[in-house]
């Protein structure tokens, strides 16, 4: 098991069909840390209010986190907009998991980071909540459609493709929104005297230098399945667990000889007939 100083996770969305709980369990079983930050939207209260859905794998994620807490991992839970109901419990511990509004984190290299979900800096969520709910339903519809698109692609041995991620990349207003979000959050961290900020909310994983201030977005566990880890030297790294899983699966599915060794596929060049 890999062990890190800190792990940052956000936007798991337990209680939704799109939550990649099995991949998250795979990540939790293979990685540990002194401190784990749950940076919002861990449970999707919006979706659960519209209809209860809680498969065993989602319960297993909760139990895996509680088990880590019992074994000594410090876990801080910073609620987001989808799990805003938890904001009534700041300062309360649930099985050793502490609920806090926001957090200060100092890396081993001395960087002081603000840790917050980020929805409080989203003008749509703050001032037009009805529109945020409409967007959430549209996003869930895109995820549903994405399931069928990828089922068809698998029939033709195609790679996984994300419809919603493609749509966000194509729509000018979406890319502009992400850029504005990043700017607003880094400005907030700068005003507070921080060296950087760790957030979630927009499902767009990234580690970047923004005019001398570190911007870290942990991504999500609906599509990208990413986490941010801090090594013992204080360096931060983005882990794409879905990509790691695909590589492991490709190795497992590779053809083998009679002794169990992988067989390398040879590329053949077709000769043109005269």
Q: What would the 3-class secondary structure string for 1-24 be?
A: CEEEEEEEECCCCECCCCCCHHHH
Q: Is residue 257 part of a domain?
A: no
pLDDT above 80 (res 248):
yes
Q: Is residue 263 part of a domain?
A: no
Mean pLDDT of the chain: 82
pLDDT above 70 (res 9):
yes
- Using one digit for the tens of pLDDT, what is the confidence trace for 64-112? 999 999 999 999 999 999 999 999 999 999 999 999 999 999 999 999 9
Residue 273: what pLDDT? 37
Q: Which two tokens stand for residue 135?
A: 């967007």
> How far is the CA of 223 from the CAs of 18, 63, 68, 242, in angstroms?
8, 22, 25, 8
Q: Is residue 265 part of a domain?
A: no
Q: Is residue 120 part of a domain?
A: yes
Number of structural domains, the chain? Answer: 1
What DSSP string describes 99-117?
A: E-S-EEEE-TT--EEEE--
Q: How many beta carbons lie within 10 A of that of residue 125, not counting itself?
A: 20
> How far is the CA of 127 from the CAs of 83, 122, 182, in angstroms?
18, 8, 18
Q: Is residue 237 part of a domain?
A: yes
Q: Is residue 113 part of a domain?
A: yes
| Segment 242-267 mean pLDDT | 73
Residue 51: what pLDDT? 87
Residue 245: what pLDDT? 87
pLDDT above 70 (res 263):
no
Signed CA dihedral, 50, 55, 58, 62: sign only: positive
Cα–Cα distance measured from residue 103 to residue 122, given in angstroms and rounded to the nearest whole number: 19
Asked if 214 contacts 230 with a C-beta cutoff of 8 angstroms, the reply is no
Q: Which two tokens stand for residue 267?
A: 């590329």
* CATH number of the domain within which 108 lies: 3.60.21.10
Parent domain of 94:
2-249
Which of 233, 234, 205 has its CA nearest to residue 219?
A: 205
Q: Is residue 230 part of a domain?
A: yes
Asked if 79 contacts 117 with a C-beta cutoff of 8 angstroms, the reply is yes
Span of 16-20, 110-114, 233-237 with lowest mean pLDDT: 16-20
Global confidence as pTM: 0.78
Cα–Cα distance measured from residue 253 to residue 261, given in angstroms and rounded to the nearest whole number: 12
């Amino acid at each position: 098991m890999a062990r890190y100083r800190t792990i940052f996770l956000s936007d798991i969305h337990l209680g939704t069909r799109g939550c990649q709980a099995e991949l998250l369990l795979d990540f939790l079983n293979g990685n540990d840390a002194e401190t784990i930050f749950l940076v919002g939207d861990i449970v999707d209260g919006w979706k659960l209010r519209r209809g209860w859905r809680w498969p065993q794998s989602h319960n297993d994620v909760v139990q895996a986190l509680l088990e880590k807490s019992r074994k000594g991992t410090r876990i801080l839970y910073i609620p987001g907009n989808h799990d805003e109901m938890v904001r009534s419990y700041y300062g309360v511990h649930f099985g050793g998991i502490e609920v806090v509004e926001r957090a200060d984190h100092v890396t081993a290299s001395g960087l002081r980071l603000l840790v917050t979900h980020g929805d409080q800096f989203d003008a749509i969520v703050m001032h037009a909540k009805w529109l945020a709910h409409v967007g959430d339903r549209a996003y869930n519809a895109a995820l549903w459609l994405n399931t069928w698109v990828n089922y068809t692609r698998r029939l033709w041995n195609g790679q996984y493709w994300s419809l919603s991620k493609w749509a966000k990349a194509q729509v000018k207003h979406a890319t502009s929104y992400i850029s504005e979000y990043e700017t607003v959050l880094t400005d907030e961290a700068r005003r507070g005297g921080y060296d950087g900020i760790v957030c979630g909310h927009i499902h767009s994983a990234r580690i970047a230098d923004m005019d001398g201030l570190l911007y870290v977005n942990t991504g999500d566990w609906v599509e990208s399945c990413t986490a941010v880890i801090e090594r013992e030297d204080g360096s931060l790294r983005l882990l794409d667990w879905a990509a790691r899983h695909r590589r492991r699966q490709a190795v497992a599915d590779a053809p083998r000889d009679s002794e169990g060794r992988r067989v390398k596929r040879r590329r053949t060049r077709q000769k043109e007939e005269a």
